[in-house]
Amino acid sequence: MIKVKNLSHSYNKDEKYQVKNINFEVKKGEIFGFLGPSGAGKSTVQNILTGLLQLQEGEAVVADYDIKNISKEMFNKIGMSFEQSNVYSKLTAKENLDFYSKLFDVKTVDSNELLNLVGLEGKENVKAGEFSKGMKHRLTFARSMINEPELWFLDEPTTGLDPSIAADIKEIIKTKNNDGVTIFLTTHNMFIADELCDRVAFIVDGEIKLIDSPENLKLQYGEQLVEVEYIENNETKIKTFSTVFPEDKKALQTVIDQHEIKTMHTKEATLEEIFIKVTGRGLV
């Protein structure tokens, strides 16, 4: 559904690239996670793929359309849920969706059906400007499904939502994927990526550092981490060390030699821990 080759982009059109030499493919029917901290280049790549930014260098095919020459038909096949809600404040929830549905040349989903799906039943005649941040986010999410997209771009789909609503959103994503929808998920939330994604790409400073499945990453790194609980200056501390990287092995030995150890055990690596080990960067 997506093929990207040697993609680079500079906002100033100089040699300072926000993304450089990006290469990846997203297979039909998979959930592909694009993971990285703020400023890593996630949104830049996503905006190029959805036509919000013009392609400068490289190649990209989205839903079988070459984005060098974007066709209107491509937008009938894709949906986009933005992290920052951009609904019309003076229109009601239903009016927002009804207006958006008129932009497509394909059959669209009933507005009330979508509002009910995202937990906004009974709010269809309330102006979006009166909505909370979380309700606006749900309205944006609902809008992205109105044309029943084959390829669905989701940017931080659970941000700002309480746990119950976030769980509902994740179930919708899983259901759509089971129905055959391909999903490109942009996030810095490693927990949602771990739960939903078939494969993930780690992006830092505009470059992809790794692409693999969460399962393979855990198999590769899971038995190579040790969590140690120890006493230092009369305080209990907990740290996790890699048994592969030399600097971690040395630090672990120092803790063992110099401090009282309370517990020590191997642990399954989280995606966040793997991300930090692979990229040397945190997610903030």
pLDDT in tens, 160-170: 789 999 999 99
For the chain, where are the E strands, in sequence order?
A: 2-9, 19-26, 31-35, 57-62, 65-66, 78-81, 151-155, 182-187, 199-204, 207-212, 225-232, 235-242, 260-266
Q: Residue 222 has what pLDDT?
A: 66
- Pairing state between β 182-187 and 31-35: parallel
Q: Residue 283 has what pLDDT?
A: 67
Amino acid in position 266: T
Tell me the per-residue pLDDT of 183-211, one tens digit each, with 9 for 90 and over: 999 998 899 999 999 999 999 999 999 99
Phi-psi region of 173 (alpha: psi -120 to 50; beta: other; left: phi over 0): alpha
Q: Residue 220 has what pLDDT?
A: 83
10-residue stretch averages of pLDDT, the chain, 284 residues long = 97 92 97 93 94 95 94 94 92 98 96 96 97 95 97 93 92 97 94 95 95 91 83 94 87 95 86 87 70
pTM of this prediction exceeds 0.85: no
Q: Which residue has the tokens 């669209």?
A: 108
- Adjacent-strand bridge partners of 33: 185, 200
The angle that helices 133-143 and 163-178 make with each other, rounded to 10 degrees, is 10
Q: Residue 223 has what pLDDT?
A: 66
SS3 of residue 193 by DSSP: helix
Alpha carbon 232 to its chain's center: 38
Q: Residue 219 has what pLDDT?
A: 82
Phi-psi region of 122 (alpha: psi -120 to 50; beta: other; left: phi over 0): left
Q: Residue 123 has what pLDDT?
A: 97
Q: What's the number of CA atoms in the CB half-sphere (13 Å) around residue 228?
A: 23
Q: Residue 140 has what pLDDT?
A: 96
Q: Residue 77 has what pLDDT?
A: 97
DSSP label at 77?
H
- Adjacent-strand bridge partners of 203: 208
Domain boundaries, the chain: 2-212, 219-279
- Pairing state between β 78-81 and 235-242: unpaired
- The per-residue b/e assignment along 192-226, b for 16 or more CB within 10 angstroms, e otherwise, is bbbebbbbbbbbbbbbbbebbebeebbeebbebbb
Q: Residue 96 has what pLDDT?
A: 98
For 113-181, where are the E strands, in sequence order?
A: 151-155
Query: Which CATH architecture is the domain 2-212 placed in?
Result: 3-Layer(aba) Sandwich (3.40)
SS3 helix, strand, coil % of the chain, rounded to 5?
35, 30, 35
Q: Residue 229 has what pLDDT?
A: 96
